[in-house]
Every structure is written in structure tokens, then in C-alpha cells.
Amino acid sequence: MRFAVIQFPASNCDQDAVHALRNILGQEADLVWHKETSLAGADAVVVPGGFSYGDYLRCGAIARFSPVMQAVQQFASNGGIVLGICNGFQVLCEAGLLPGALIRNRSLQFRCEQVYLRTVTRRSPFTRAIPGGRILRVPIAHGDGCYFADTETLATLRAKDQILWEYANAAGNPTDDANPNGSVQNIAGICNARRNVAGLMPHPERACESILGGEDGRLIFDGILAYLRERAASRAA
């Protein structure tokens, strides 16, 4: 499969994403510069972490108007798979591809540590390969990761099963102590109503090989690949 990894000025996890996709998962991965207007036939898009446009104004606010994001909007509206990681999650929220917003961490600290995630639903390309009950251990590295949405939006997210991951403790309980940034309802990642666009603050691409401390992040990419292969097979049939 062919992944497009979007590259904004001051993206800094773009190479991590390409490394994980190419060298660990054995897929094709192309960097796509923010001034591009086409995704060149990609099967899936990763909007990576970093500090696009210096985080000026608000995280993701300027990136969302870049030429390549118009192509990502189009790709998503055609049902294409889009995964936003960290700053990528912020960009997708600013772009209106995902509901809610990410604000300054409750502690005001930049948090760089391993967290545990409970997968709330396996009903998405991003979570389908995660074994039921498996708690993921993945790193976070952000200063503005506190997820916020109004009560009406939160009710819709719950009702439509769009919350994919919650911050939890090692036993899988979403406690306040396990919430690294103050996110409402411990939300770490969500998807859109159509379930083809997802965003999360933790970094699965940094948790794809044991030398980096764990392989749990692979399960998210494995799910995307399984979905893409199934879709390709059904289109060929």
C-alpha cells in the first residue's frame, strides 16, 4: 500500500512515520510537501506530528489552509483513510475533519512520556486489529493535547461510537491520574462519523519496534492495512 505523509514547515515526526511505514511495515511511503495540490494516488494519508508553522496563532490553524490540506479534504470526502497523529490530530480538528479542539495541557507542562490507552471500540479501520481488552502502551510528546468538545458534541461522539481511545492506567481504567493533559472524558483519539478519518495525540509510529520500547503502535497501522487490503480485494472482485 502507498501512504502519503504530509510535510509542513516544522513537521518533525514525518520521518518517524515514513520509517515506520517503509522499514517496519514494508509499505510505500512518500513525503508530500504542504504546497502540493495532489496526493499522487495514495491509498492512505498520515498527517504527522510536529509544530506546523511554528504553532503560530493556534496549533494546526495555519496548516489547515495549506494547499495540500485541500487535497486531503477531498481525499477524506471520497472515503480515503486519513490518520492524524499529535499535531496532525490538531490540524484535522482545525480543518473540521474531526470534531472538537485541542488546547493547552491542564498542567501547562509539555508532557513527554509513555501512556496507556484503552481502545473503546474496535469498529474502525484504525482499531480493528487491536485484540479485545489489550491495553496499548505508546508515547506522548505534546504541550497542547487537552481534547475539548462541548457536551452536545461529546454526546454525539459517544452515541455514534466515535471515541477510539481513552487514556487509562496499566489496568485499563480511565482514571483522572492516568489523564496526562486534562482531556475531557480522558479522550485520546477519535474518528469522524464516516469512520475513515481518525486523530490521536499519542504517537503509534514511535512504538512500532521493540528497540524503541514497544510495538503496540503497529496494531493501529495493521488495522489500516487490513482494511485497505480488504477494500482493494472487494474492488477487484
Q: Report the C-alpha gap between 86 and 231 in whole angstroms.
A: 27
- Taking the complex as a whole, the smallest distance from the CB of residue 163 to another protein amounts, in Å, to 17
And the C-alpha cell for 43? 491509498
Nearer to another protein, 172 or 182 (CB): 182
- Taking the complex as a whole, the smallest distance from the CB of residue 166 to another protein amounts, in Å, to 18
Q: Report the C-alpha gap between 7 and 14 in whole angstroms.
A: 6
| 3-class SS of residue 167 | strand
Catalytic residue among 59, 86, 146, 191: 86
Nearer to another protein, 33 or 65 (CB): 65
Q: What is the largest CA-CA distance in the chain?
A: 53
| Residues 181, 200 contacting (CB under 8 angstroms) | no
Nearer to another protein, 9 or 182 (CB): 182
- Taking the complex as a whole, the smallest distance from the CB of residue 156 to another protein amounts, in Å, to 14
- Taking the complex as a whole, the smallest distance from the CB of residue 108 to another protein amounts, in Å, to 5
Q: Residue 218 belongs to what H/E stretch?
A: helix 218-236
User: Which stretches of 57-184 are DSSP H helices?
Assistant: 67-77, 87-94, 151-159
28 assigned to active site: no
142 assigned to active site: no
Instruction: Provide the binding-site residues for another protein, judged by CB under 8 A.
Output: 57-58, 61, 65, 94, 100-101, 103-108, 146, 148-150, 182
36 assigned to active site: no
Catalytic residue among 94, 191, 205, 208: 205
Active site residues: 86, 203, 205
